[in-house]
Amino acid sequence: MFARDRIWRALAACVLAAGLMTGGSAHAVDPPVRIGLDADMTADSALSGEAIRRGAALAVVELNQAGGILGRPVEMLVLDHRGVPSRGLDNIEIMATMTGLVAVLGGVHTPVALHELPALHENRIIYLDVWASGTPIIENGYDPNYAFRVAISDSLAGDFLVTSALERGYRRPALLLMETGWGRSNEKAMTAALAERDMKPAAVEWFRWGTKSLAPQIERIARSGADVILMVAGIREGPVAVRDMAARPEYARLPIISHSGITSGDFFAATKDSLGKVDLSFLQSYSFVDPPHPGRAKRFLANFSKLYPEGAVPEKIAAPPAVAHAYDAVNLLARAIEKAGTLDRPAVRDALEHLGPYEGLVRDYDPPFTPQRHDALTDADYFLARFDADGTIVPDRQ
């Protein structure tokens, strides 16, 4: 334990030096309430990792200004998994040794979260998923289940994407999917959604993480007679699809309706020379440009601007759902700790399942979770969006 404590102190010192520890007090009598963040902070999806950190950090600052949780200050420790499952597991094992750690926020990658689930449950650590949509993260077979999500779920996203395509007049959707647990989760959901309508995908094409060309897959989809592509891709592969589609003759280009994963990094910068040639829309679950609760968004932005004045304009906030999901998740966790009256993780887990209504940034949670449902959002929170000419993500309300 002494060696573990030295690891914690060394990590905390590094995090403080990097400006990633938020809140807390060196003079507090009681140990602080600690919240971990395990996300991609430096690799392809670092933009969304930083967005998660900012949303969570504001919630922590506001909680500390109001007296903390159970009268204790709140600290957040950020560790970087870089999108690598083994690094994520190492992070969970490190955080499991920290005194006062109640929960870990997780971000961006479904394969990382799935790899971490056994360690999270072995150590009875609450996992708050704020950007990873794989259905098995939450529907994981563990009892009791320590995973909760304030983010998009593939179990709902698949049907939403299919419904959106059909409502826009398309009748032969094809699937273009990353060959990971996330892609397979979506393939299952979208195929089921089509089957409910006595339909099948016009084609199903797969690609590996880091692929450099999707031209062959797009060509096979085009030959299948598809009239739209439903795509599940990350920030590295999504731009490849757009550039390869833009390179086709204008008459041979297909519209793309994408999952939200393409917005986890600076997608606009990677594709701005091609976007004007491709009809691209994508799934989102929050917008500061058109928020569901304008008054709450206004109050949030007023406080957010005090921490991040360079990025508090609604049009300039990167990865808006990541910011909003993390902010709401930390506040829901705080309410659960107060309800439980303890930092005991099993007690807090139980309290999360029995919270009363909460007026959040993203939605009215009534309730956020139940013993049978650990997903806080529904497809009523989903919408399609586009990039405007300046790269701002704007709702595409057709």
Q: Are 208 and 162 in contact (CB under 8 A)?
A: no
Please check the confidence at residue 141 and state whether its pLDDT lies above 90: yes
Q: Are 16 and 78 in contact (CB under 8 A)?
A: no
Instruction: Compare 319 and 107 and report the one with higher pLDDT.
Output: 319
Distance between CA atoms of 233 and 214, rounded to whole angstroms?
Answer: 11
Token pair, residue 381, equals: 């929170």
* pLDDT class of 23 with cuts at 50, 70, 90: low
Distance between CA atoms of 255 and 124, rounded to whole angstroms?
Answer: 44
Q: Are 324 and 286 in contact (CB under 8 A)?
A: yes
Which percentage of the chain shows pLDDT scores above 70?
92
- Taking residue 390's Cβ as centre, other Cβ atoms within 10 Å add up to 10
Token pair, residue 212, equals: 């450099």
Q: What is the enclosing helix (H) or strand (E) of 307?
A: helix 294-307
CA distances from 270 to 5, 21, 321, 396 (A): 42, 31, 20, 21
Return the pLDDT at 310: 86
Distance between CA atoms of 182 and 186, rounded to whole angstroms?
Answer: 6
Return the pLDDT at 7: 42
* pTM for this predicted structure: 0.92
Please check the confidence at residue 5 and state whether its pLDDT lies above 50: no
Per mean pLDDT, which range of 139-153, 164-178, 307-321, 368-382 is the poorest?
307-321
Domains (range + CATH), the chain: 2-152+293-378 (3.40.50.2300), 155-284 (3.40.50.2300)
Q: Which of 199, 268, 197, 203 is nearest to 231 (CA)?
A: 203
Residue 244 phi/psi, 5-degree rounding, is -70, -35
Distance between CA atoms of 332 and 312, rounded to whole angstroms?
Answer: 23
Distance between CA atoms of 230 and 241, rounded to whole angstroms?
Answer: 12
Give tens-digit pLDDT for 244-297: 999 999 999 999 999 999 999 999 999 999 999 999 999 999 999 999 999 999
Angle of helix 2-17 relative to helix 85-95, nearest 10 degrees, comes to 110
Mean pLDDT along residues 28-57: 93
